[in-house]
């Protein structure tokens, strides 16, 4: 039996009340409406709970294994993947010309909320394929699109992103994989590490998106090119042919996501793998960022998903675990621990972080759709600027929340949480990688202060801050039940604006001072945006109650959860501001050798 209950009501609420679904649907297919959205979510929820969730512990215990040079995934994995493809789930957001369904990224994002929550290790495979499809769709030649897209969009073939090398982690300027031109293709040699689903037994072919250097390429990131390297070369009839010269030589033993094969890939043991240049030489990093930005949104969603799953498990345990009497009562008999205030504090923290993170991820996905679909170029440009600002925040803040929630989930279980049999520890182990994937959260923070705030003089950041301030007047008439949310949100926005002004000045004068505050600054953004969206949730829930919408209990709980966030989570903003503006002196004062 699955212990996962898809949060369909909250998904629908976030999509329709907060993320602009109606506006996006108007830009999309004529038959896209809230009823169809509800049906998609319901069917997705059934697949997640009935097929993927029961395999989550199986995958954790068995892991993927390298057997005779090939990767074997856990029991049930291949069948689940085939059902995933047959259900059309892989094709949701892609171009109908190549077999996609053409639905908005908002819908695809919400579905990945389900996939990651029910089975994060499984969901990583279609997540990476999705990123590869985006790169080929945007930068591939007509022949490359014809050869690869339809099968990648259907999920019949999967895709990977291959950046990292042993000497080049996040510093892509140090990439040394070589690509030598040979007629209409290139020969690729070198090694890539930490490649998610670099090899597996789920499909007949895998299309690797590989960064490498040509012989005369300039040094640094300006000399990187992007290549399509199929596991099996594709014959003229579109079927897999000869095996290419690329092999998985080992898979990593990891802390978590054991079922996801993290591969070391070797190119060129027999003359070099055949690869096909995507776009122009030396522009590969720019092309790869198309994949990375979408992947960063998806990784942020992993944090949301783990929040949800850890919360559900902890709440279920807390309702059943009988221990200690009620501190506020006279009855000496023990009660379920869900009655104890500190357990409630942990559960409500997990619940509110999941809902605020979901709202933020869906809001970003909605802006991504507008950037792609709006008829007015100025509207598209404005939406893309908002997406660019939000992506590092979604990735960093939501993944940290996933780790915090999973940690609290173990704590709620007490000693049982430390025992693997309960399953609570798996979420903690699985969650951590999301803080590292697709550029660690520290890199996201540096990206935020450098490229997204300082580069344009905080123009987009100030627009977002001004937009958040507009909610104060609307909240004034919302009653005393959310007084804490309103007051602390105003304080958080003030703190964010002051910190932004301080960082702008420091970035010009002493960049180390700005970099020293980058991580608390991105947290300040996350908690303030979360508070703003929880405030919007309150207004939407109150309006729905006044209109007599059916699920009154759910709507009232939304308001309570939002106010908890305002009272208990938003006050973190003051500490984040203080840490952001503390400067670098105490960080840099001790000699390297003394650390």
SS (H, E, C) 434-486: HHCCCCCHHHHHHHHHHHHHHCCCCHHHHHHHHHHHCHHHHHCCCCHHHHHHH
Taken in order 179, 196, 399, 7, the sign of the CA dihedral is positive
- Between the alpha carbon of residue 435 and those of residues 124, 132, 172, 313, 431, the distances in Å are 14, 21, 19, 22, 8
The CA distance from 253 to 63, in Å, is: 9
The answer to whether 196 and 126 have CB atoms below 8 angstroms apart is: no
The answer to whether 199 and 261 have CB atoms below 8 angstroms apart is: yes
- Looking up tokens 């991820």 gives 361
Other Cβ atoms within 10 Å of 563 Cβ, number: 21
For residue 225, the cross-strand partners are 212
The dihedrals phi and psi of 67, each to the nearest 5 degrees, come to -125, 115
Angle between helices 552-564 and 341-373 (to 10 degrees): 100
Please choose, from the candidates 272, 261, 108, 112, the residue with its C-alpha nearest in 3D space to the C-alpha of residue 197.
Answer: 261
Tokens of 520: 């608390």
Other Cβ atoms within 10 Å of 162 Cβ, number: 29
The CA distance from 85 to 106, in Å, is: 20
What size, in residues, is the chain?
595
The answer to whether 347 and 312 have CB atoms below 8 angstroms apart is: no
Angle between helices 483-509 and 459-469 (to 10 degrees): 170
The CA distance from 355 to 367, in Å, is: 18
DSSP letters, 123-178, are: HHHHHHHHHHHHHHHHH--HHHIIIIIHHHHHTSSEEEEE--BTTBSS-GGG---E
- For β-strands 158-162 and 206-212, DSSP reports them as parallel
Write out the catalytic residue numbers: 438
The CA distance from 230 to 199, in Å, is: 11
The answer to whether 393 and 529 have CB atoms below 8 angstroms apart is: yes
The answer to whether 83 and 51 have CB atoms below 8 angstroms apart is: yes
The CA distance from 203 to 456, in Å, is: 44
> Taking phi first (over 0 means left), then psi (-120 to 50 degrees means alpha), and beta for anything else, what does residue 191 get?
beta
């Amino acid at each position: 039996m699955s212990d996962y209950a898809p949060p369909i009501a909250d998904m629908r609420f976030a999509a329709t009340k907060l993320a602009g679904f109606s506006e996006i649907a108007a830009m999309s297919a004529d038959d896209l409406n809230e009823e169809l959205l509800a049906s998609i979510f319901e069917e997705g929820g059934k697949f997640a709970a009935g097929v993927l969730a029961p395999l989550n512990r199986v995958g954790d215990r068995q892991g993927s294994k390298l057997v005779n040079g090939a990767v074997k995934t856990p029991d049930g994995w291949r069948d689940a993947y085939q059902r995933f493809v047959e259900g059309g789930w892989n094709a949701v957001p892609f171009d109908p010309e190549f077999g996609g369904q053409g639905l908005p990224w908002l819908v695809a994002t919400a579905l990945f909320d389900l996939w990651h929550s029910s089975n994060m290790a499984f969901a990583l495979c279609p997540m990476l394929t999705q990123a590869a499809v985006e790169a080929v769709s945007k930068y591939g030649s007509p022949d490359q699109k014809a050869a690869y897209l339809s099968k990648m969009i259907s999920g019949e073939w999967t895709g990977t992103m291959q950046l990292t090398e042993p000497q080049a982690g996040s510093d892509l300027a140090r990439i040394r994989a070589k690509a030598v031109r040979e007629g209409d293709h290139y020969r690729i040699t070198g090694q890539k590490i930490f490649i998610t689903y670099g090899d597996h037994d789920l499909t007949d072919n895998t299309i690797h998106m590989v960064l490498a250097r040509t012989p005369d390429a300039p040094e640094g990131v300006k000399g990187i090119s992007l290549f399509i390297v199929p596991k099996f070369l594709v014959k003229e009839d579109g079927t897999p042919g000869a095996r290419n010269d690329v092999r998985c030589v080992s898979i990593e033993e990891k802390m978590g996501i054991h079922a996801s094969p993290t591969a070391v890939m070797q190119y060129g043991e027999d003359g070099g793998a055949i690869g096909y240049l995507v776009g122009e030489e030396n522009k590969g990093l720019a092309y790869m960022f198309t994949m990375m930005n979408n992947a960063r949104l998806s990784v942020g969603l992993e944090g949301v998903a783990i929040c949800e799953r850890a919360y559900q498990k902890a709440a279920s345990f807390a309702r059943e675990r009988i221990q200690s009497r009620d501190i506020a009562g006279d009855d000496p008999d023990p009660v379920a621990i869900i009655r104890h205030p500190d357990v409630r504090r942990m559960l409500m923290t997990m619940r509110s972080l999941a809902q605020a993170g979901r709202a933020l991820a869906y809001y970003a996905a909605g802006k991504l759709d507008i950037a792609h679909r709006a008829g007015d170029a100025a509207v598209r440009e404005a939406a893309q600027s908002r997406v660019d600002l939000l992506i590092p925040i979604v990735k960093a803040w939501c993944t940290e929340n996933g780790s915090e929630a999973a940690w609290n989930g173990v704590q709620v279980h007490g000693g049982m949480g430390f025992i693997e049999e309960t399953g609570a520890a798996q979420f903690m182990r699985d969650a951590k990688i999301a803080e590292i994937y697709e550029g660690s959260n520290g890199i996201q923070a540096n990206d935020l202060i450098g490229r997204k705030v300082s580069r344009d003089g905080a123009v987009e950041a100030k627009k977002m801050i001004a937009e958040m301030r507009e909610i104060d007047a609307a909240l004034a008439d919302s009653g005393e039940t959310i007084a804490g949310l309103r007051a602390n949100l105003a304080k958080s926005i003030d703190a964010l604006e002051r910190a932004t002004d301080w960082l702008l000045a420091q970035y010009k004068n002493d960049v180390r001072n700005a970099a020293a505050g980058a991580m608390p600054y991105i947290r300040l953004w996350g908690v303030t945006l979360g508070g703003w969206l929880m405030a919007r949730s309150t207004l939407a829930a109150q309006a729905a109650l006044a209109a007599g919408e059916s699920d009154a209990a759910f709507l009232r709980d939304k308001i309570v959860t939002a106010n908890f966030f305002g009272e208990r989570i938003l006050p973190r903003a003051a500490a984040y501001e203080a840490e952001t503006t503390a400067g670098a002196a105490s960080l840099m004062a001790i000699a390297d050798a003394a650390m």
